[in-house]
Chains A and B, each alone.
Chain A
Amino acid sequence: MSNGVFLLSLTGQIESAVFPDFDDIYCKYCFTYGSDWAITSGLEEGISQIGKCSRDDRQSFVWNFPLDVTFKSTNPFGWPQIVISVYGLDAFGNDVVRGYGLCHIPIAAGQYKKTLPMFVPESTTLLQKLTCWLTGRRPEYVEPRILGQGEGREVTRVRSQGWVKVCFNTITRDIQQLGYSTRSSSNSHSCLSL
């Protein structure tokens, strides 16, 4: 018996990124999820290697960084989201954030490729911009997981720059047994990307 618990298993990878004006970047990932959810196996956080931009037309940073994690829950509310933050080194050797991006783990089982737009918070006033420029400290999120909450965003200004490609394979267990339908009966599922 499942005791009202279902499992969601995710395998995949953070494949690559496109950031036209930067070099030497790496990424961190973490998951954010509701209170009914827990991780049963796999790593909740990770940091990739520092990648250099390819010297061809693709202009991409390949990380090929694995994701492998299993969640359990009793309720789809608070479905896990992956939050990716990309960092790089600036001309003075400071670690600077180059982008944050997030998306939900795909809900219906299957294979998905997604391109996540990445954005960085911006200073709101001219004075702050000036101090950032002088001190080399840019605005960043202390806890990137708050991006998954959807609250309190109205106070931030961001600039979107760059994209990260992520590939997901998901399997679910017992979710249909609990009465949930996660895909339409007519068409199985269409792999969609923006």
Chain B
Amino acid sequence: MTDSNDLINLSISEAAAALRNGETSAVALTEATLARIKQTEPTVNAYATVAEELALKAAQRADTALAAGDDRGPLHGIPIGVKDICYTKGVLTEAGSKVLEGFVPGFDSTVVRKLDEGGAIMIGKTRCHEFAYGVNEPPTRSPWELNSYPGGSSTGSGVALTVRSAFGAIGTDTGGSIRIPAAINNIVGLKPTYGRVSAYGVIPLSWTLDHVGPMTRTVLDNALLLGAIAGHDPNDAASARQDAPDYTAGIQDGVRGTRIGIDREYVLYPGVIDDVRASTESVIAELAAMGAEIIEVSLPEFELTPETLFTVMMVEASTYHRQQLREKGDLYDPATRATLQLGELVPGTHYVTGLRARERYRSAMKDLFQRERLDALISPTMPLPTALLSELHVSRKDMDIEETPMISYIHHTFSANLGGQPALSAPCGFTRAGLPIGYQLMGRPFDEATLFRIAWAYEQAHDWHERQPPHVYD
């Protein structure tokens, strides 16, 4: 298998198989990925830094090791992109900010170290909103609609996957920053359980809401990538002690008997456009036809989640940036700077009330899962597809309630950050305008495997995830 286009279209699991049966090499996969980056970057700008020399050396080492029988696992020799807020030893880490211009860390974040230990090839650093806050506009563009929001804050990770300039990518998610770019770019994104993947060496946005997770083109790849990066890390105070299982075990076991809840009033609220509503109902109907039990539920505490998340996130982010804001305030994007200033003006009593509201929400969610014996909750990932950048912060004209697309985008995602439970977004169709639609599954803490099993079953019945964006690169 020598054709570059054939190689970049392989999934991680397919590339891993091709590596082991001698059809390709880590160097060939890396060279094909670098060629794709050169072809697509002028249009999509997904990478802040491309680690060409380091990647090729790592690929040569990976081939030598594999030939010698040193097989590090399913990511061995696979090119992976890493969000630019994760420390990478010797490689620029600028977090999309002039504040960190030229910063080169002296050590790897744990997630990057684990990728390296697993034999993965760190191909480059993917672009993100400034410090992952999501209020400025990164230069990345999605080929699905070049004038529209490419998703964020793990912007480059999502776009690199959809244009095939990475086989997998690392993102971070504080209110939806893995799942939103996943839905917009027609890929699979998982926000794992809080503490499941170490955040050591990842620049914080909000310590108690931040999650590091895998972004891939298939559900199986997502399970493989999570398996490589999950696990306890004594360097991260929030790291979970539970052992990470083999997330691919049982992935093909089907959904018969699985109990999937839906709170229609909240997740299919008036802000959900018709195409998204229809796609979500279709996923539910198909899972039911496969043997899943669909349970109608109601969780009034969902109403707490926007104000809770904003209050907690803003204060924590402003706390992290407090000193830097005073020393280098002019280097922040004006929108980020204003939001950090706002966070300093929120009273401490509001922050603690936010923590209490968060605990009420988490407790109610736990009770709901216990009472209804749920395996997952289902919803759209976002109420609408990507919107024009010029309309992102303008009240939507397609609904009666006052809400901007940017606020709509996080309606379904941020509750999982508050509860700490895992949440996965996967493709489930397209709008009539040809824009990707994603659905979301939220599960029990540390039960990512069930989400993979459900999503894998649905994925087998469709080719949504194989569809590629318009070719806009040449």
A interacts with B: no
